[in-house]
Amino acid sequence: MTNLTDSMDLEHTLEELERAAPARVAGAVDLDSLSNLEAELTGKRSPIAEARRGIGKADPEQRKVIGVRIKEAADRIQALVDGRRIELEHAAEAQLLVDDHVDMTLDRYRLPSGSQHLLTTTMQEVSDIFLGLGYRIADGPEIETTWYNFDALNTPPEHPSRSESDTFYIDWAEGPNDVLLRAHTSPMQVRYMESHEPPVYVVVPGRVFRSDTFDATHSPVFHQIEGLAVDENLSFTDLKGTLAHFAREFFGPGREVRLLPHFFPFTEPSAEMFVSCFACDGSGCRVCSSTGWIELMGCGMVDPNVLTAVGYDPDAVSGFAFGMGVERLAQVRHGVTDIRHLYENDVRTLRQFR
Ligand code: PHE
């Protein structure tokens, strides 16, 4: 009797479990609560586990029937749990896709694009013209020594440009003012020849510094482009032809050049190069101050003392050099009347030279 009662109790318990299970399993809202529920329904302390433990107490002939019945209930419940788990996993994945959604069709945030500065463009244009003649481009240090800036360039100690009112000196600690901000790009003539054998054909764009007051025509920081050619048998004719080619490329065909005597310590003879005015074709206007000619650069044949200073043989090679102001080139060509416009970075100015 006890066994029958027990088995009826058991059947009642199992039916109760099976009846309630679908709603309870369906009510698990996430994977964690489903796992908890699973433990409750089928785990070690569940009624099912308890029923299994009771099998041994049943009549031997009933054990198999009871065992099968318990397994049937356990399998049903487990199937419900497994089905719900798959549902919840799919839901979690779907939620992840929603949370991580990126709308690729959204318009990106556009930064207004800037443009190259007129001085940069000018340096590139000049460099390009000389590249077309087979020249190389080099650059060098803005902080220089008196040796490269002056001495190696045949500039004697008493030369006025060496005074502190003209040149920015940096180093007062070690010896007599040996370090300075280069006052021109010419030191690169020396540096380049020291590290290259002739033939040399090179242009050097760069920033230079002079102790000038900032006003409409002066800036303590400005830019130059140095040119240097050293080869066998280079003459003044080659210098003039090269500069005439440059003037026509930069200002247009039909430009004439003229060279007037001048002095630089590192060239002999030296000259100032003028180009016939592109605005009035030489008849005189505001651009050329009514002279018909625009002064563009200093130039000359490399002084033999400079060749000797870098270890070249002045009897075997000769050369010419020139140096032009980038601001001046840009101002003349574009009618920029005040050099300060080139540094103020007013976008209304910058936009005009896009
Ligand atoms: N370095 C000179 C200057 O700054 C220009 C120049 C360069 C002159 C090369 C002759 C040869 O004025």
Written as tens digits, the pLDDT of the chain (354 aa) is 334 456 778 889 899 999 999 999 999 999 999 999 999 999 999 999 998 988 888 888 888 999 999 999 999 999 999 999 999 999 999 999 999 998 888 887 888 888 899 999 999 999 999 999 999 999 999 999 999 999 999 999 999 999 888 999 986 666 656 899 999 999 999 999 999 999 999 999 999 999 999 999 999 999 999 999 999 999 999 999 999 999 999 999 999 999 999 999 999 999 999 999 999 998 999 889 999 999 999 999 999 999 999 999 999 999 999 999 999 999 999 999 999 999 998 989 888 988
Give the SS3 label for residue 293: strand
300 Cβ closer than 6 Å to some ligand 1 atom: yes
Could you say which of 64, 99, 134 is where a domain stops?
99
For residue 349, report the distance from its CA to the centre of ligand 1, in Å. 29
The reply to whether 148 and 95 lie within a common domain is no
Q: Give 28-37 contacts, CB < 8 A, sequence gap 24+.
A: 28/84, 28/88, 30/88, 30/92, 31/85, 31/88, 31/89, 31/92, 34/81, 34/84, 34/85, 34/88, 37/81
Distance 199 CA to ligand 1 centre (A): 20
Ligand 1 contacts CB of residue 184 (under 6 A)? yes
Does residue 279 lie within any of the structural domains? Answer: yes
Same domain (yes/no): 134, 165? yes
* CA atoms in the 13 A half-sphere facing the CB of 169: 17
Domain match, 47 and 135 both: no
Answer yes or no: do 331 and 245 share one domain: yes
Residue 106 belongs to some domain of the structure: no
DSSP H/E element including 193: helix 187-195
**H or E element at residue 154:** none
Q: How far is the CA of 124 from the centre of ligand 1 (A)?
A: 19
Which residues have CB under 8 Å from 271's CB, separation 6+? 259, 260, 261, 262, 298, 299, 300
Q: Are residues 130 and 83 in the same domain?
A: no
Q: Do 18 and 53 fall within a single domain?
A: yes
Q: Do 29 and 126 share a domain, yes or no? A: no
Cα 77 from Cα 21, distance rounded (Å) = 7
298 and 210 within one domain: yes
Assign 157 to helix, strand or coil.
Answer: coil
Domain membership of residue 128 (yes or no) is yes
Residue 12 lies in a domain: yes
- Measured in degrees and rounded to the nearest 5, phi and psi for residue 177 equal 45, 60
Question: Tokens in use for 324?
Answer: 């032009």
For the record, the structure tokens of 230 come out as 């050293």
pTM: 0.70
Q: Evaluate whether residue 110 is within a structural domain.
A: no
Q: How many helices (H) and strands (E) does the chain have?
A: 12, 9
Is 234 inside a domain boundary?
Answer: yes
Number of domains in the chain: 2
> Based on the domain organization, do 85 and 180 belong to the same domain?
no
Q: Are residues 28 and 168 in the same domain?
A: no
Neighbouring CB atoms inside 10 A of 323's CB total 23
Residue 2 lies in a domain: no
Would the CB of 319 count as within 6 Å of ligand 1?
no
- Does 142 lie in the same domain as 55? no
Q: How many residues belong to the chain? A: 354
Do 270 and 327 have their domain in common? Answer: yes
* Closest Cα to atom 2 of ligand 1: 323
3 state SS of 322: strand
- CB contact at 8 A, 28 and 37: yes
Domain region containing 278: 118-353
201, 135 Cβ separation under 8 angstroms: yes
**Residue in the block written with tokens 């929603």:** 98
